[in-house]
Amino acid sequence: MAYSRIWNGSSFVEPDFSYGSGSAISAADSVWIWDGSQFVKVWPSFTPITEINQTRTNYPVPAGATQVRIKKLIGGGGSGGSGYGSGSSNRGGGSGGGGSAVIDEIVIPVSLLGSTYSVVVGQGGAPSGRGGAIGGSSPGNDGGLSRFSSGSVVLTANGGKGGKGGNASSTVAGGAGGTWSATGVTGVVGHNGTAGGSGGSPSGGSGGDAPDNTTGGCPGGGGGVGVSGLGVFGSTGGDGGNSLSANGGPGGTSNTSVSEATGQTGRSGGSGRPGGGGGGAGIGSLYGEAPGGDAGQYGAGSGGSCGGNNQTQSGGTPGDGYVEITWE
């Protein structure tokens, strides 16, 4: 940097900054200046190192770094469950997967850290898969946690929980939203994820809408419609939840083509921001089974699929986690 060396009369040299404590002269470990909006380190010189979605295990803290900036920590979203398949009984829709937690930007001095650090990047839960044999369903899967840890400092954004598979007798609740935690450092701000929408009633109900996440966490996916043994079905799948940065996908419309009955994909939130939840499935004309909608990146839950006469389709694919850190 331009301020990291001084002229000694014949050449530029690294300065020797010292300060008095009242009883001794001690060497300073760094020097900062105010640039009008923030403090900027000018000595010793260090080129910032940014790592995005880079898994680390007991990796050395970079020599010369004085702090780490945790830009964003987002877990993986939960996947929606599949609806219940049966040719004659009531068939409940699968519920939506939950959204993950989010931890906002925080700067941590290396004095609070250990000599090494580890990073885990959570993945979205695997799609539920089809409902199996007639008379069954498949649950969604939990999203993985994202974590930064070094010494006693541990920041964790837990993933959303998977939605539940539909059944013949009761409405199933959506997967729970992920929670966050922090130890070893103060001033951390985080936001829990929100739940997925409930599956449609086995007596023929529409899928439940996932609530919007209005605090900064990730939303869940919508639930799939249910179908009664008498052939009554819900009119729409549940809408995926909105995040502060992206809209959720609308639920599919019943009694249309399977493509129109499929839950729609949630919007992406962009780099390091929560996406929108996937929409839940309606049911196609002639009882065509439709899948749940995929979630937008990052961290949102996916939609559940509808109940049907045959082997039901899968819930959607949820958003993955996101971790960005910069050593400074």
Q: Tell me the pLDDT tens digit for each residue of 67-88.
A: 999 999 999 999 999 999 998 8
Q: Is 315 helix (H, G, I), strand (E, B) or coil?
A: coil
Q: Could you tell me which residues come within 8 angstroms of residue 177 by beta carbon, excluding any fewer than 6 positions away?
A: 98, 99, 100, 101, 160, 161, 192, 193, 194, 195, 213, 217, 218, 220
DSSP assignments along 153-206, one per residue: EEEEEPPPPPPPPP-SSS--PPPPPP-EEEES-S---EE---PPPPPPPTTTPP
Strand partners, 190: 103
Helix (H) or strand (E) holding 244: none
Is 101 domain-assigned? no
Residue 323 has pLDDT above 50, yes or no: yes
Is 17 domain-assigned? yes
DSSP assignments along 109-168, one per residue: EGGGS-SEEEEE-PPPPPP-----STT------PPPPEEEEETTEEEEEPPPPPPPPP-S
Is 94 domain-assigned? no
Residue 1 has pLDDT above 50, yes or no: no
Q: Would you tell me how many other CB atoms lie within 10 Å of the CB of residue 115?
A: 10
Q: How many domains does the chain have?
A: 1
Is 165 domain-assigned? no
Is 6 domain-assigned? yes
Is 207 domain-assigned? no
Under 8 Å between Cβ of 173 and 164: yes
Q: State the Cα–Cα distance between residues 259 and 235, nearest whole angstrom.
A: 15
Closest-CA residue to 151 (of 97, 96, 112): 112
Q: What are 205-246's pLDDT values in tens digits?
A: 999 999 999 999 999 999 999 999 999 999 999 999 999 999
Residue 7 has pLDDT above 90, yes or no: no
Is 76 domain-assigned? no
Between 13 and 66, residue with greater pLDDT: 66
pTM (two decimals): 0.87
Q: Is 326 helix (H, G, I), strand (E, B) or coil?
A: strand
Q: What are 165-184's pLDDT values in tens digits?
A: 999 999 999 999 999 999 99
Is 26 domain-assigned? yes
Q: State the Cα–Cα distance between residues 92 and 172, nearest whole angstrom.
A: 8
pLDDT tier, 44 (very low <50, low <70, confident <90, very high otherwise)? low
Domain that holds residue 13: 1-45
Closest-CA residue to 284 (of 236, 316, 222, 229): 236
